[in-house]
Amino acid sequence: MADITRRLGWRHLRGAPTAHVRHHRDGKLLHDGPGLSFWYRALTAALSEVPVDDRELAMTFHARTSDFQDVAVQATVTYRVSDPALAAARLDFSIDPDTGVWRGAPLEQLGTLMTETAQQHALDVLARTTLSAALVDGVASVRGRVASGLAAEPRLPATGIEVVAVRVVALRPEPEVERALRTPAREQIQQEADRATYERRAVAVERERTIAENELASQIELARREEQLVDQRGTNARREAEEHAAADAVRASAEAARSVKLAEAEAERSVKLAEAEATRTVKLADAEAARSVRLARAEAESAREVGEARAQAQAAWLRVHGDVDVATLNALTGTRLAENLPNIDSVTISPDVLTGLLARLGAGERA
């Protein structure tokens, strides 16, 4: 859209490089070209603006194949206005001199023309093609047919339109048909996946079997080596026992020889000790006998002297007592008896004893 500025009843238009502007006044062409900038009066100016850049026209339409299946076609047509003067003469590209907005809808008219033309050629080629062939090669065939049809369409050059490129984005059947068509492929893919899974499982089982066989072989080899190890350990133990037995025999022989030597030395020492003990015992016996004889002699001499002394004392005692009278002897006897009697702390006289004593006293008095 052109950029229009108002100044005191005048208008200034500044166009874009991709917009072709045509300015008429009183039926005369004053300005013609892209990217123009000029002043004009709104009451007397007739302006038109034709875009000359490449335009993308997206279109979607439905078609039917030869086997009566509906398909949706999505395509894009790239075009441009090659002759702006011709396009402005055939289509209404006039703009408002005050706002710069198109008075009509020229691009919509052009889009309808190109869409209907492209749809006509696409329907023509799809009507002679089955659905399966259309899905396989329909994009290329439809694109070629639409491009050739638009290039051969006389109305487009007569309107100043040039088709730059045609692209068919997609060609799809109805959702139910598409699902039905996908089913065999999906089943085949699933079968391939299942077969791959089975093969992978088979390979895994084979590998597991190989691993199990290797483990079994390893266990067998390990058992064989353990058996060899046990045999070797038995041989080593037997050899060690024999060596220990030989060492014990040598040690026992040496110990026996040392014991014999020790026993002989001990016996010899015992004999010497016995002889020395016997000699000492004899000497002690002789000394004890001599001492006993001396003691016996001394005791006999002492006893004899004691006996003689006692005899002498007894004789002297008898001589003394022989000269003393009887009353003195009785008194001495009573004194000796009193000295040898035990101590009497108390005397208990029973009535019977007292009666007997009194009876004796009475009888003595009577006598």
pLDDT along the chain (367 residues), means of 10: 84 90 91 91 91 92 86 92 91 89 90 90 87 83 90 90 91 82 79 87 89 90 89 88 87 85 85 83 81 82 82 73 68 70 66 73 62
d(CA 182, CA 171): 15
Taking the model in full, what pTM does it have?
A: 0.49
Q: What 3-state class would DSSP assign to 10?
A: strand
* Residue 317 buriedness (CB in 10 A; 0-12 / 13-18 / 19+): exposed
Return the amino acid letter for 58.
Answer: A
Per-residue model confidence (pLDDT) at position 246? 87
Q: How far apart are CA 212 and CA 219, in angstroms?
A: 10
Q: State the pLDDT at residue 367.
A: 54
150-209 confidence digits (pLDDT tens): 888 898 899 999 999 999 988 888 888 878 777 787 788 888 888 888 888 888 888 888
Cα separation, 236 vs 241, in Å, equals 8
Q: Give the pair of three-digit tokens for residue 358.
A: 């009194």
3-state secondary structure of 192: helix
Give buried/exposed letters for 180-197 (b at 16+ CB in 10 A, else e): eeeeeeeeeeeeeeeeee
Return the amino acid letter for 337.
L
Q: Residue 306: its pLDDT value, please?
A: 81
- Say how far apart CA 79 and CA 134 lie, in whole Å: 26
Q: Is the dihedral of CA 234, 240, 245, 246 positive or negative?
A: positive
Res 338: pLDDT: 67
Side chain identity at 117, as an amino acid letter?
A: T
